Structure 1
Amino acid sequence: MEYTPNLNNTTLDYYDDGDLEIGQDKINFESAQYYCYAILHPVIFTIGVTGNMMNLVVFTRQRMRHGKSDIEKAATTGLIFLAVSDMMYCLTGLMTHFLRPFRNDGTTAAIVVHYYGVYTPAILNTFQFISTWLTVTVAIERYFAVTYPFMARQIANPRRTAILGLVVYGVSIVFNIPLFLHKQIARFPGPDGETFYIIVDGVLPSTLAYTITWSALGILVPLVTLAFCNVRFLVIIRRSQARFTPNNAASDNSRRNPLLNSTTITLISIICLFFLLVCPAMIIQFIGNFVQHLSLTSYYRFQLAVVVTNTMLVVNFAINFLLYCYALRDFRKTLANMVRSRGPSSHRLQRLS
């Protein structure tokens, strides 16, 4: 069962151009494929599952929301939905590596793993799509909170954010259903009574129209929206800094820039990481959908780019826990309280009481 983190599992045609460097290009590709897919990805996915579980525990604790405004609670709710999607993405990829040893033993487990391998790219792409649009949703909500704070205080509500998150999940799943119908498994009886399973085109094969639509809604529109929000964040924060100069702060220590809170800075960092880690994979994915005929040299170099950008992509789904620990003071405090409350001293105090 081949592991493919996203739609970059392109099937390119190639021709032998007689280039003597093809051997080295092939070695580079196969080495990168082994070290990234067989070694790095399981580690990254394990970190992602663990980190996002910690995100859910910390964000859902009551103390994390105590004393916060509805705007901040709404942002936290959006991050909870994002953590769920990121965790499921990492769990799906991690399961692929755990199921690999059973792929050739001819048992029922092997059949299950075979089916799982066929639909894994569709599952991964669905959660990639969900996480992308959840990031867009949180960014837009934060944009209105920063740009129109008075209006945002009137409409910001964690419940509305939760409903919007559920809508993103539902619409994304429906939109990605065709991905599960591109391929299917056909069973053929063998001469000795054995059953052979092969992958064939599904009831709804991939079409250029759907590929373009997916690329537009899953790549182009989110990128443009996130770029706009991030630029606006930076421009507004820079302008607001002029009102909160060191001289003004010295005259009134209680005055500070309300836009420079940890939630806004964290969201800016999330968007920057999205552009740094996800955009290269999306660009390669887009190119792979339309460039189908390459020389053998270009083929191996393109596949090497696929491996590297896929690895960058999966890092994006596993890194948020470290970002929250660094940027969110309340997150660190809640996490530290959770650790202390489970320490030996706390258990002794509980027994004494």
Structure 2
Amino acid sequence: MARNVILKAWLKYYRIKRIKMVCVCYFHVNMVCPNLNSTDESSSPYNTTVSPEKEHAEMIRYIFMEIAIPVVCSFGLVGNTLNLLVLTREKQHRTLSKMEFSAHIGLIALAFSDFMFCLLALLFTLLPLEKNYREGNTVLYYHWLGGGFITIFIVTSTWLIVVMAGERYMAVCHPFKARNIISLKRTRISVLGIFLICTICTIPIFLESEIHAIECPSGEMYYTVQTRPSFTKDVIAARRIIWAILFDFIPCVALIYFNTCLIWKIHKAKKLRQDMAPMTGHECTMLNAKAENGNIKWQIKFKKTIGKESSLKPGIPARNPSITHESNNSTPKFHRGSTKRRTADSALNSVTATLVSVVILFLILVSPSELLKFTLYYTSQSISDKYRFDIIKSVTNFMQALNFSTNFVLYCAINKSFRNSLRTLFCWWYKKIQIHRQKPIIIKLRSNS
């Protein structure tokens, strides 16, 4: 049922688009402006046959680019807005350690970059982008510059994740060096530097194309976005290779290395905590039973300050007056310190687990798509390969949009502190709404009294 609805909607969209293309391109371009003639025979109004490969590619493009990406980007706008609100609220209302504060700065910058990507990608799918424009309006300029701005935030998010993964790697695997290397000032400088460097590196993409104005014999002006003559095929190929190395291969290798080390360290720490954890009541009972039956024959000897030795059986708890505290009215100092340490360690572990999940999602959805598009772009030779590349491009664009839109779900699923802050934020909003609704009633009651 759903498949038939999607198929009918696509057929209607495809027919309208094809009729519009034939009318505009033929009557206004082919007859009036011969300079805009298309070399593609399939775009001619006399050629009404469409190959199955092209029809399949158009249907896949419609499903992913016209339906799936707008839905995912709309969800991403809401999710990243909540990410910004919750993370900034945590930074202001919670006492964060230096490591936590540094990670929060990176997550806030990542949420902003993802928000901008979702906004620009949503505009790219919703605006009526055409091959030729009758006037130099906003849509024409967005068609010219929109792809470059989207690319800025793609590569910015990529390198923000790499920098955060590197900081987590230093904090977990080399904690003593991390204390001297990681600081709030350096984190802020690195975040601003990433935004600046990625923007500068994207300038060649803006320069690749230009707006070309064509005056028709009838006096009408048409505008189209064309590649600059100076950017030949070899120049664009060289730029793509350098781009793939800097923003695809190097980040991918770095993230795989950092994430592997982090997962290994988390696994070792979890195993160590399990080995050092105190025995449960059931385990103590079993141990005492074995000791009473004679299965365990050993003693623990402690030297007292008096100079005598006392032997303790496994079932008798050993108590040291200098460590424990019997009073119910006061809390021992060591207990308060260990509680604070456990809280800080739990927060850092939560941040580490969150970042590991973000990196895994990025490696699954973004890195393969970029490498696949780069490979197919240079191996596609025939027309069928071109249609296959268009299909893969539509699918991988959806995968990228999905990655930049679902970090909110990861934060909610993994980070308990994030969930608590989100719940507090919603409760605060709910109270504000209730107070706002009750104001007219209170004013009315006061006026009547």
Could you say which TM-score interval applies, normalised by the shorter chain? Answer: 0.7 to 0.9
Q: After superposition, where does 1:127-206 map in structure 2 within 5 Å?
A: 127-202=153-228, 205=231, 206=235
For the residue of structure 2 that corresponds to 1:93, the secondary structure is: helix
Q: Do the aligned partners of residues 119 and 348 (structure 1) sit closer, same or farther apart at CA in structure 2, a change above 3 Å counting?
A: closer
Partner amino acid, structure 1, of 2:142: Y
Unaligned segments of structure 2, at least 5 residues: 1-39, 43-49, 281-334, 443-449
Letter in 2 for 1:27: E
* Root mean square deviation of aligned Cα: 3.1
Judge which range, 299-308 or 45-54, deviates more.
299-308
Distance 1:204 1:327, change over 3 A: farther
Determine the structure 2 residue equivalent to 1:71: 99
Which letter maps to 2:419?
A: R
Cα distance, 1:64 vs. partner? 5.7
Query: Which among 341, 354, 365 is matched to residue 266 of structure 1?
Result: 354
**1:65–1:73 Cα contact (<8 Å) kept:** no
Tell me the residue number matched to 2:59.
31
Q: Could you say which residue in structure 1 is the equivalent of 2:446?
A: none
Indicate the SS of the match to 1:293: coil
Question: Are the counterparts in 2 of residues 134 and 165 from structure 1 also a CA contact under 8 Å?
Answer: yes
Superposition deviation, residue 284 in structure 1 = 2.1
CA distance in 2, matches of 1:346, 1:100: 38
CA contact (8 A) 1:181 1:204 kept: no
* 1:182 CA displacement: 0.5
Question: 1:204 Cα shift?
Answer: 5.2
CA contact (8 A) 1:139 1:267 kept: yes
Which residue number corresponds to residue 118 of structure 2? Answer: 90
Q: Is the 8 A contact 2:361 2:403 kept in 1?
A: yes
SS at match of 2:273: coil
Q: Cα gap change, 1:266/1:51 in structure 2, threshold over 3 Å: closer, same or farther?
A: same
State the number of aligned residues: 332
Q: CA deviation at 1:115?
A: 2.1
2:61 and 2:394 in contact (8 A); partners too: yes
Partner residue of 1:122 out of 143, 148, 157? 148
Q: Which residue of 1 aligns with 2:75?
A: 47
Structure 1 residue 315 displacement after superposition = 0.5
Question: Which structure is higher in RCO with an 8 Å CA cutoff and minimum separation 6?
Answer: 1
* 1:220 is aligned to 2:249: yes
Letter in 2 for 1:333: N
Q: For 1:99, give the aligned amino acid.
A: L
TM-score, with structure 1 as normaliser: 0.84
Contact 1:48-1:319 within 8 A present in 2 as well = yes
**Closer, same or farther in 2 for the Cα pair 1:273/1:62, shift >3 Å?**
closer
| Superposed displacement of residue 247, structure 1 | 5.8
The residue number in structure 2 matching 1:6 is: none
Q: Do the aligned partners of 1:70 and 1:158 also contact (CA within 8 Å) in 2?
A: yes
SS of match in other structure, 2:405: coil
Q: How far off its partner does 1:347 sit?
A: 4.2
Q: Which residue of 1 aligns with 2:378?
A: 290
Distance 1:55 1:25, change over 3 A: same
Bigger CA radius of gyration? 2
Q: Secondary structure at the match of 2:213?
A: strand
- Structure 1 gap ranges (5+): 1-13, 17-21
| Separation in 2, partners of 1:269, 1:184 | 40
Range 181-190 or range 57-66, more displaced = 57-66
Give the match for residue 276 of structure 1: 364
| Bigger mean CA deviation after superposition, 51-60 or 132-141 | 51-60
1:271-311 CA deviation, whole Å, 9 max, x = no partner? Answer: 110111112311222113422412x3333223222211211
SS of 1:184 mapped into structure 2: strand
CA offset at residue 229 of structure 1? 0.2
Aligned to 2:391: 304
Q: Does 1:233 align with 2:257?
A: no
Partner Cα distance (1:86, 1:203) in 2: 33
Instruction: Give the drift of 1:45.
Output: 1.1
Change (3 A) 1:51 1:246: same
Taking a change above 3 Å as real, the CA distance of residues 183 and 348 of structure 1, as seen in their structure-2 partners, is: closer
Deviates more, 1:47-56 or 1:192-201: 192-201
DSSP 3-state at the match of 1:245: helix
Say if 2:407 is the partner of 1:320.
yes
Q: Confirm or deny: 8 A CA contact 1:103 1:114 kept in the other structure.
A: no
> Which amino acid in structure 1 is aligned with residue 196 of structure 2?
G
* Distance in 1 of aligned mates of 2:272 and 2:170: 20
8 A contact 1:89–1:128 mirrored in 2:
yes
Q: State the distance in 2 between where 1:65 and 1:344 align.
A: 19
Q: Could you tell which deviates more after superposition, 323-332 or 152-161? A: 152-161
User: SS of 1:162's equivalent?
Assistant: helix
Q: Which amino acid aligns with 1:179?
A: I
1:101 shift after superposition? 7.8
Which of 298-307 and 246-255 deviates more?
A: 246-255
- 2-structure distance, mates of 1:346, 1:25: 54
CA shift digits 1:23-71 (9 cap, x unpaired) = 4433332211111111111111111122111111111115665221110
- Distance, in Å, in 2 between the alignment partners of 1:207 and 1:141 is 34
Query: Does 1:334 find its partner at 2:426?
Result: no
Partner of 2:128: 100
Secondary structure, in 3 states, of the residue corresponding to 1:181?
A: helix
Structure 1 partner of 2:314: none
Distance 2:114 2:394 in 1: 20
Q: Taking structure 1 as reference, are residues 134 and 247 closer, same or farther at Cα in structure 2, changes over 3 Å only?
A: closer
